[in-house]
Amino acid sequence: MWLSAELDRMVSQNVGGSDRLIRAVLAVGFSILALRALTNRKPLTAVVAGLSAIGFGFNATTCFCGLNEALGVDTSSD
């Protein structure tokens, strides 16, 4: 039980509502951009877009953003 409480304290949800939806849409958009960049032989663009897609997808699925936490922003109640 204490481990669960400690994990909840360490990784609390701070992304929600429209912020979460926007991040999910951005993840899909960056995924499409990464695939297009790969087909056009632009590897740097593909890598940057792919990493962006992974980051925004992680934020949208886990409802957690490290930058939000560092800045003290919480949109989970939206």
CA 43, 35, 31: angle at the middle one, nearest 5?
110
Q: How confident is the model over 17-28, as pLDDT tens digits? A: 999 999 999 999
Gap between the Cα atoms of 39 and 24, Å rounded: 23
pTM: 0.80
Cα distances (angstroms) measured from residue 77 to each of 20, 26, 42, 53, 73: 11, 21, 40, 24, 11
Q: How confident is the model over 42-58, as pLDDT tens digits? A: 999 999 999 999 999 99
